[in-house]
């Protein structure tokens, strides 16, 4: 008798003899293969053809009996088709879902599915191996599936070389996130699970009613921007919101922003990021450190699931609709939404970091690598996104388009944007521009005068109509304030404005002239040919309180970052702050009065400066972080907006800030005068001025006006108040007033 496991797999008994070579089914065996193997006097013969295994039992001269193991036919969960290489990601269509992912160096690709329960059990529910002949077009792996995807998550496995010195980190045992995934099912720190998260399979049934929402398209010069953290804004108990620390919590408090006079919010990173990057016990505060700020992106297409009131329910799909609701409700109140995006690096770090997505999909494409596979670190966070590689720049463009068209955001602030101007790994002018450049000796990371990615974004028919703001520096020493390649539509964070204003207001000698230039829109940076439009189109007055909060800027001379658990070694040492005579929150009454004056001075300066002012969350009531200028790791009171403190300041500093933002809307605007080589403009009539300066009838009056506005006129600019008219005269540059044109 022989026991055989057939392809279909059920347990059956067959017998045969010398006279009858064809096996005859004699009985079913209700037992397991393991138990049969343990039967005495049975010998196991393994057949490695994957079709069956056989046992020969008590063979005799006359013949032998055979037991064949057959499993009942298994119903397939999905119908499998070749699929399409476009679009990238998982796309619901034609009654199924198309999956497409780029990986040029992988030898094989497997699509893995998991239910939430299987994800907890570290188990793959179903996996589909892709045929390189049928499921690969160029460097894109793709498959189309029909079936039941309810509560199903997915990820990929790729096989190929594991060769760090060659830039490859393929490991077929790891489940990776789809770079184009739109949402996630995620587990928390208490969950013992790998992978930590997986991608949501999209459904055509998820809809959202935008109620006719359209872009507000405010002129940039009219913006007053409020930088905020989604979780920190309403997480404190004093917010008394139904869903604290979520998108819905922010919706409940949008009227506060209207009261303040804000018409645009800049959201700190709310792409899906690695909140557990710094997760460890912090003995200083007796709590746990986490990545609170969010500058550690895992996926660029999905909103942060932990900011959703729905959390992990429905595989995280609630986060998408809650983010959309936030944008819609903000627009209803006349508030635009700008996102802080981090395309300079990802959460995967250097070679010692976790492999979550990009590294395992195609490391040598998505990251800037040195010749021996080392990671360039222009971001200061372990890796640098390979932004100007053709595949990566298309990825970034697709992402930005998605957030504009699908999520209705109004613009983007690009963290460490100078990295977006650096040459990619294996820079090749022929590959980038279509033809070689004579004398092109560019190496990886070299700053480019015409970066392909910036060119692509600037000339995109969808993106050129939104706000594009560059933090024009990086951690590799590249500083491009006033020099960022802008294509006539980009703005910059003006870091020099912040430093100069701090120095002047605290009383440092020698900064009066530079301070005056800051008030006038820094024409020394944004003028003469490079910046053709008005100054306020380009100067983004970075909030004066960057790093230190406004209150801490007048309370502390030095940083106090012990709560971070790094022995006060982290954070910026040069803050240009002044404690007004005593260090810390507790001080004498005269010192406290001086501090309040200084806070008003700072805020007034911000509101009357040409450019676009930015307020940081909590500064409107004087939030203090105890002198900590690097609160990246604190999900606690240090970073939470205190609504009780805001109420206490409602008739004091908050009142001052609200009135100043409203006054801001009546300030002068800067107009650009036509360029006439060899000539210069001089004022003649300005109806906003009192007599005798409304009409300049004498040389003395004209000389005084020219001196007063020299910094504008030298840059072919002139400030105008609303409901006013001006006449300027053009004179030869040799100051011959008799040759009036």
Which residues contact residue 33 at a Cβ distance below 8 angstroms, ignoring those fewer than 6 apart? 3, 5, 53, 69
Per DSSP bridges, beta strands 539-541 and 612-616 are parallel
**Phi, psi torsion values for 528, nearest 5 degrees:** 50, 75
**Phi, psi torsion values for 215, nearest 5 degrees:** -60, 140
Within 325-427, strands assigned E span 336-341, 411-414
- The three-state secondary structure class of 137 is strand
Could you confirm whether 415 is annotated as catalytic?
Answer: yes
H helices of 215-283, where?
Answer: 230-234, 247-252, 254-260
> Per the residue annotation, which of 2, 340, 415, 474 is the catalytic one?
415
- The three-state secondary structure class of 160 is coil
DSSP letter string over 283-341? TTTTEEE---S--SEEEEEEE-GGGSTTTTGGGGTHHHHHHHHHHHHHHHTT-EEEEEE
418 burial via Cβ count (<10 Å: 0-12, 13-18, 19+): buried
352 burial via Cβ count (<10 Å: 0-12, 13-18, 19+): exposed
> Per the residue annotation, which of 183, 277, 410, 471 is the catalytic one?
471
Hey, what are 611's tokens?
Answer: 């450019």
Hey, what are 150's tokens?
Answer: 């309810």
Q: Which of 528, 667, 657, 567 is nearest to 609 (CA)?
A: 667
Question: Distances in Å between the alpha carbon of 63 and those of 19, 21, 24, 564?
Answer: 8, 9, 13, 79
Could you confirm whether 471 is annotated as catalytic?
Answer: yes
Question: Distances in Å between the alpha carbon of 689 and those of 499, 503, 668, 681, 728?
Answer: 32, 32, 12, 18, 14
Alpha-carbon distance of 492 to 495, in angstroms, equals 9
Hey, what are 273's tokens?
Answer: 């990021």
Q: Does the N-terminal peptide bond of residue 692 adopt cis geometry, omega within 30 degrees of 0?
A: yes
**Phi, psi torsion values for 241, nearest 5 degrees:** -95, 160
Alpha-carbon distance of 555 to 545, in angstroms, equals 12
Catalytic residues: 415, 471
């Amino acid at each position: 008798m022989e026991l055989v496991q057939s392809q279909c797999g059920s347990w059956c008994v067959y017998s045969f003899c010398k006279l009858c070579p064809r096996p005859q089914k004699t009985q079913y065996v209700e037992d397991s293969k393991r138990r049969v193997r343990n039967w005495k006097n049975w010998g196991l013969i393994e057949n490695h053809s994957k079709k069956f295994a056989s046992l020969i039992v008590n063979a005799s001269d006359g013949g032998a009996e055979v037991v064949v193991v057959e499993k009942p036919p298994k119903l397939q969960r999905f119908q499998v088709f070749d699929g399409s290489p476009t679009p990238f990601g998982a796309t619901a269509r034609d009654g199924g879902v198309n999956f497409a992912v780029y990986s040029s160096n992988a030898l094989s690709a497997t699509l893995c599915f998991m239910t939430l329960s299987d994800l907890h059990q570290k188990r793959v529910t179903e996996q589909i191996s892709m045929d390189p002949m049928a499921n690969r077009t160029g460097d894109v792996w793709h498959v189309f599936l029909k079936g039941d995807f309810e509560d199903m998550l997915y990820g990929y496995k790729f096989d190929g070389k594991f060769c760090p010195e060659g830039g490859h980190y393929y490991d077929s045992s790891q489940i990776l996130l789809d770079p184009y995934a739109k949402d996630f099912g995620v587990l928390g720190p208490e969950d013992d699970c790998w992978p930590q998260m997986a991608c949501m399979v999209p459904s055509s049934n998820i809809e959202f009613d935008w109620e006719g929402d359209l872009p507000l398209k405010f002129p940039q010069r009219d913006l007053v921007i409020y930088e905020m953290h989604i979780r920190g804004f309403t997480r404190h108990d004093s917010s008394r919101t139904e869903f604290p620390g979520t998108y819905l919590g922010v919706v409940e408090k949008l009227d506060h922003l209207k009261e303040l006079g804000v018409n645009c919010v800049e959201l700190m990173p709310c792409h899906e990021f690695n909140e557990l990057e710094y997760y460890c016990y912090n003995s200083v505060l007796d709590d746990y450190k986490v990545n609170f700020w969010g500058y550690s992106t895992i996926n660029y297409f999905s909103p942060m699931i932990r900011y959703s009131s729905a959390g992990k329910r429905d595989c995280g799909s609630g986060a998408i609709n809650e983010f959309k609701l936030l944008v819609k409700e903000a627009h209803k109140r006349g508030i635009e939404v700008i996102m802080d995006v981090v395309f300079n690096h990802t959460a995967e770090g250097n070679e010692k970091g976790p492999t979550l997505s990009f590294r395992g999909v195609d490391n040598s494409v998505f990251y800037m690598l040195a010749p021996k596979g080392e990671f360039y670190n222009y971001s200061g966070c372990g890796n640098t996104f390979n932004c100007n590689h053709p595949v990566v720049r298309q990825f970034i463009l697709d992402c930005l388009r998605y957030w504009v068209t699908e999520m209705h955001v109004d613009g983007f602030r690009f963290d460490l944007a100078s990295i977006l101007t650096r040459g990619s790994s294996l820079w090749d002018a022929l590959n980038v521009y279509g033809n070689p450049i004579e004398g092109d000796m560019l190496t990886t990371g070299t700053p480019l005068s015409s970066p392909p990615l910036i060119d692509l974004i600037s000339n995109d028919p969808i993106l050129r109509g939104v706000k594009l703001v560059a933090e024009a520096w990086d951690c590799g020493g590249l500083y491009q304030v006033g020099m960022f390649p802008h294509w006539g539509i980009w703005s910059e964070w003006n870091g020099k404005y912040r430093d100069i204003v701090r120095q002047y207001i605290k009383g440092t000698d020698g900064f009066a002239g530079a301070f005056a230039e800051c008030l006038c829109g820094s024409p020394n940076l944004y003028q003469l040919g490079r910046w053709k439009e008005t100054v306020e189109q380009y100067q983004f007055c970075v909030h004066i309180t960057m790093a230190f909060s406004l209150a801490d800027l007048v309370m502390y001379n030095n940083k106090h970052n012990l709560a971070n658990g790094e022995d006060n070694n982290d954070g910026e040492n040069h803050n240009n702050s002044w404690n007004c005579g005593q260090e810390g929150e507790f001080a004498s009454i005269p010192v406290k009065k001086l501090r309040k004056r200084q806070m008003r001075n700072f805020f007034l300066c911000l509101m009357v400066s040409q450019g676009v002012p930015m307020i940081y969350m909590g500064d409107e009531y004087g939030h203090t972080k105890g002198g900590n200028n690097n609160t990246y790791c604190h999900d606690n009171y240090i970073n939470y907006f205190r609504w009780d403190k805001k109420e206490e300041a409602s008739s004091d500093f908050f009142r001052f800030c609200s009135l100043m933002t409203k006054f801001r809307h009546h300030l002068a605007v800067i107009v650009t005068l036509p360029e006439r080589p060899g000539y210069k403009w001089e004022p003649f009539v300005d109806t906003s001025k009192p007599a005798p300066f409304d009409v300049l009838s004498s040389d003395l009056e004209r000389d005084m006006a020219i001196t007063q506005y020299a910094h504008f006129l030298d840059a072919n600019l002139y400030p105008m108040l609303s409901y006013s008219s001006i006449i300027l005269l053009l004179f030869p540059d040799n100051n011959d007033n008799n040759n009036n044109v």
